[in-house]
Structure 1
Amino acid sequence: MARVPYVESEGVPEQHRDLLVSSLQDRPLHVYRALGNNPEVLAGLRGFLSSLWSDSGLTDRRRELVILAVTREIENEYEFHQHVTIARDVGIDDGAIAAVSRGEFDDLDEEEAVLLRYALAVVRGAVEDRDHDAVTVYYDESAVVGIAALAEGYTALGGIIDALGVELEEAFVGWDPTVE
């Protein structure tokens, strides 16, 4: 059960009402409705997440792979579930989603495997020079900053979701979407 109420649009200032609605799903999401209890934080967080999406230096596919790996690592069902749908929309199949969920990157190309190992090292607070050097083979400094921020941004969001007890809008797809 959520620890804060899910606000309705009338409960937030008019300039923030559109932030309750997912731009991808065209419906209010519990995470935004929970954050709507503090509209300024909602606005700031949505702006930050939007920047991570558009400015991380990653393709849509690679961004979603990072988010799936990170949200699985922190065991955040809410964000993993939301991003399974988004991952599918950008062409990631359920087999790849399941492999990323298991931490198995062998079926990905080398760049994606390096990227996910780096993102997980960021989340674990264990980035070593070899991790940094490996990712810089494929990404410039701007993208490395974007990747680290993306990984930590979704770690922070997952922590907020857990603290507030935000519930999924529908049944959890599962850590392995190939299993029904």
Structure 2
Amino acid sequence: MPDPATAGILCPMRLPDLDPADLTDAQRALRARIIGGPRGSGTQHFPLTTPDGALTGPFQVMLHEPALGAPLQELGSAVRYATGLSDRVREIAILAVAAATDSAFEQWAHARIGRAAGLHDTELAALAEGRFTSDDAIEQTAYDFCRRLLQDTSHVDDEVYARLHTAIGTTTITELVVLVGYYRTLAQLLDVFDVGVPDEQH
């Protein structure tokens, strides 16, 4: 039931955009790592900054709390650029999280990255609707495992683990568990702070 004390009060912007000129030293250093790292050095499938220079999506959340944002962005960079996952498998897994968490920003951003990784429109639509299938056994196993992790009953028993180990191996299992946990964290941050797709990109 709504709190009578706050009824009718409009919620202000939960996290205002940070002007690059007003950043603390820690924030400035984090912004430089985000923009100057692998995310900013390759092809840009979605903008990291607004026209005014503020960071977009989860990166603006990270920038508000650099003590947590710095290690969080480093983990994200590792998930994106330092695993053995193929580009398609990585984006299939991320889009599975985006669909399960109803994360508009991650769906918007990673549909673009996924398309560049070779996912076609029919596959992207299936991922958004939670019904993806693939003739590639590794892709299908990875997707099914991520979907399992995203369910309330996500326990992996010995039988399930044995099948996963045979199909994709320990390293890929570890990478997918970390990926799902990381993108679930981003989705929750985006939801709590009401961060969506940049207005001009709707």
Q: Answer whether TM exceeds 0.5 for this pair.
A: yes
Q: Select the residue among 78, 81, 85 that pairs with 1:51.
A: 78
**Structure 1 residue 168 corresponds to structure 2 residue 197:** yes
Change in CA separation of 1:47 and 1:148 when aligned onto 2, cut-off 3 Å: same
Separation in structure 2 between the aligned mates of residue 114 and residue 127 of structure 1, nearest angstrom: 16
What residue in structure 1 maps to residue 114 of structure 2? Answer: 87
Which of the pair has more CA radius of gyration?
2
| Number of aligned positions between the proteins | 172
Separation in structure 1 between the aligned mates of residue 89 and residue 29 of structure 2, nearest angstrom: 32
Separation in structure 1 between the aligned mates of residue 168 and residue 24 of structure 2, nearest angstrom: 40
Q: Select the residue among 8, 12, 15 that pairs with 1:4.
A: 15
Separation in structure 1 between the aligned mates of residue 128 and residue 24 of structure 2, nearest angstrom: 36
What residue in structure 1 maps to residue 8 of structure 2? Answer: none
Q: For each residue in 1:16-70, what CA deviation from the matched residue of structure 2 results, as whole angstroms up to 9, or x when unmatched?
A: 2324545244631242123211122221111010111233331111000000011
**Structure 1 residue 126 corresponds to structure 2 residue 147:** no
**Structure 1 residue 75 corresponds to structure 2 residue 102:** yes
What residue in structure 2 maps to residue 18 of structure 1? Answer: 32
- Unaligned stretches of 5+ in structure 1? 173-180
Change in CA separation of 1:27 and 1:107 when aligned onto 2, cut-off 3 Å: closer
Task: Summarize the alignment of residues 138-177 of structure 1 with structure 2, pairs less than 5 Å apart.
Answer: 138-169=167-198, 170-172=200-202
* Percent identity over paired residues: 21
Flag the structure with more relative contact order, 1 or 2, with Cα contacts below 8 A and sequence separation at least 6: 1
Change in CA separation of 1:44 and 1:71 when aligned onto 2, cut-off 3 Å: same
Change in CA separation of 1:156 and 1:108 when aligned onto 2, cut-off 3 Å: farther
Separation in structure 2 between the aligned mates of residue 59 and residue 98 of structure 1, nearest angstrom: 20
- Unaligned stretches of 5+ in structure 2? 1-11, 50-55
Whether contact under 8 Å (1:61, 1:90) holds in the other structure is yes
